[in-house]
A and B are shown apart, each in its own frame.
Chain A
Amino acid sequence: MARPMTMTEKIFAAHAGLSEVVPGQLIKAKLDVVLGNDITAPPAIKEFEQMSDTVFDKDKIVLVPDHFTPNKDIKSAEMAKTVREFARRHNITHYFEVGRMGIEHVLLPEQGLVAPGEVIIGADSHTCTYGALGAFATGVGSTDMAAAMATGETWFKVPASIKVELTGRLSKWVSGKDVILKLIGMIGVDGARYQSLEFTGEGVASLSMTDRLTIANMAIEAGAKNGIFPVDDITKQYLARRVKKPYTPVAADTDAEYVRTVTINLDELTPVVALPHLPENVRPVSDIQPTPIHQVVIGSCTNGRIEDLGQAAAILEGRQVHQDVRAIIIPGSQDVYLEAVKLGYVETFIKAGAVVSTPTCGPCLGGHMGILAKGERAVATTNRNFRGRMGHVDSEVYLASPAVAAASAVLGRIAGPEEVA
């Protein structure tokens, strides 16, 4: 009988054709999805062409131009063109053109392209988002993407796992973003380096799929290789309307080995903020001195789903964005955007004095659609607040949930939702 294994170990064993794997072992695993975007795919395509004439499977490669699209300048238009032409040349099934696209990590789960038990690599560090669905998913670079497009497999070192035990339930105005920021604050930006974060405990059942996607998205911000959630009724309900391909969910063995256990009681959690310039600088919003802000960004692969926009709309409804603040709201996909229109959120945002953009990674990585000038300060639902991340090297990004970001937009300073709503 095989040794007791974690979810990640089981998925790796199955994809490497082995009965068991152990942490530290180097394996070659078959890939179910290989993803790239308009920044990382062009160099991957160049390298791919040195290796192969044909892709391993036109249905398993996903290409999403989302970072600098709609193209912000001629150079980024050339990069997007490279991706578009490659997709046509190789008849790639899942290429998403502007107008039908979304921010990749919002889009792929929504379109049913990722499923439990799968092994997924993407040339984008937030590929770990799909762990919310019980898949092994991790970010890689362009050369890895290139080789994977040619061969359909890649090598991995099997990571040791940290068990993140969630107890209790989230209170009103506390969400997945607060859970993951709390965890990163506890273990640090390299606290899970080379390791897997496996979320478990009775608290998981109280987390929506949106909460889980946000949490898994930021596993990389603790240095983790992947973050992964059990497949439960909430997962199955989410998948039912979406995933059409066959898949095999896995569950961790009850006696699987973990390098450490971290417990978070969701009952005790309050809204938090990560201060510049590291996601580990986490404080409760209530502990922060009055801090005036210039910009709010609500969106990104971390918090660009419809429930995220719903939280923001609930706070902005009938209120005004502070006169000193630019509030930028970016639905994560065309479907999210349409839903936000139907639910009246877009009208709420516009009436409040916010701008609503088509889906793009835009300001999150300092690309376009909301770059900060010297000395400016933003509250953003994005995932990184590194120095210069959203613009000038002397600007500051505070990471928070959509509820905190919306409340801050109204008050013109970092604020908790209970101060407004």
Chain B
Amino acid sequence: MKFSGKVWRYGDNVDTDVIIPARYLNTADMRELAVHAMEDIDPTFAGNVRQGDIIVAGKNFGCGSSREHAPGALKAAGIVCVVAESFARIFYRNAINIGLPLIELGEGDINIKAGDTLAVDLDAGTLENVSTGETFAVPPLPGFIQEIARSGGLVNYTRQLLAAKGGNHE
């Protein structure tokens, strides 16, 4: 999986309440939610984000609620990958399940700025900051998670699982 995109840069502990505030959660339509993504920390985001853009943040990205609406709204807004020093675990799991790739770089200063262009090759395990020439190694996903990713998300993975068991929908 390869992609490249422009960077939106944020700090530590970006929580699910700012990714998509609960006041908008009276709908589960991710395109409707995307209009409000990040607005409590960055009112410029929703109006300017483009399909293919990438978020880069500090540690504990996605802390807080279990709302899948958070990665869902980012994906619907056009974000194709989130790179962070570390992720909160429910956000990590939710993003995998809906097919939004995450890259966890480990804690330390990440020399990537807003507006930089990143080129990501998940199969080769590389992330290049095209704007600076700096490259980062991307650790491979563990077993089950690769299986889920290969299936195209948890819905497809579970359908295959149920079908293999003589499940009830195939």
* Chain A contact residues, CB within 8 Å of chain B: 26, 39-40, 42-43, 46-47, 50-54, 67-68, 72-73, 75-76, 79, 122-125, 127, 139-144, 146-147, 150-151, 155, 157, 189-190, 193-194, 220, 223, 225, 278, 365-367, 371, 384, 386-389, 391, 393
User: How many chain B residues touch the partner (CB < 8 A)?
Assistant: 45
Check B110 for interface membership: any CB of A closer than 8 A.
no
Check B114 for interface membership: any CB of A closer than 8 A.
no
Besides the contacts A51-B155, A51-B162, A143-B154, what 17 more A-B pairs have beta carbons closer than 8 Å?
A40-B66, A43-B68, A52-B162, A79-B27, A79-B28, A141-B97, A142-B68, A143-B155, A146-B158, A150-B162, A151-B158, A151-B161, A223-B60, A366-B22, A386-B15, A386-B17, A391-B23
A50 pairs with B159, CB closer than 8 A: yes
Most chain A C-beta atoms within 10 Å of own C-beta, residue among B60, B158, B167: B158
The 5 closest A-B pairs by CB, nearest first: A141-B68, A141-B94, A75-B26, A190-B60, A139-B66
Most chain A C-beta atoms within 10 Å of own C-beta, residue among B13, B41, B66, B155: B66
B85: nearest chain-A partner, CB-CB: A190
Chain B 91-109: CB-based contact to A (< 8 A → 1; otherwise 0): 0011001100000000000
Q: B41 to chain A: closest CB distance in Å?
A: 7
The answer for the CA separation of A140 and B69 in the assembled complex, in Å, is 12
A39 pairs with B155, CB closer than 8 A: no
Q: B90 to chain A: closest CB distance in Å?
A: 5
Check B166 for interface membership: any CB of A closer than 8 A.
no
Taking CB atoms, residues of chain B closer than 8 Å to A393 are 40
Query: Which B residues, 1 to 42, have Cβ-Cβ distances below 8 Å to chain A?
Result: 13, 15, 17-18, 21-23, 25-28, 40-41
Check B168 for interface membership: any CB of A closer than 8 A.
yes
Check B88 for interface membership: any CB of A closer than 8 A.
yes
* Chain B contact residues, CB within 8 Å of chain A: 13, 15, 17-18, 21-23, 25-28, 40-41, 59-60, 63-69, 72, 86, 88-90, 93-94, 97-98, 142-144, 153-155, 157-159, 161-162, 167-169
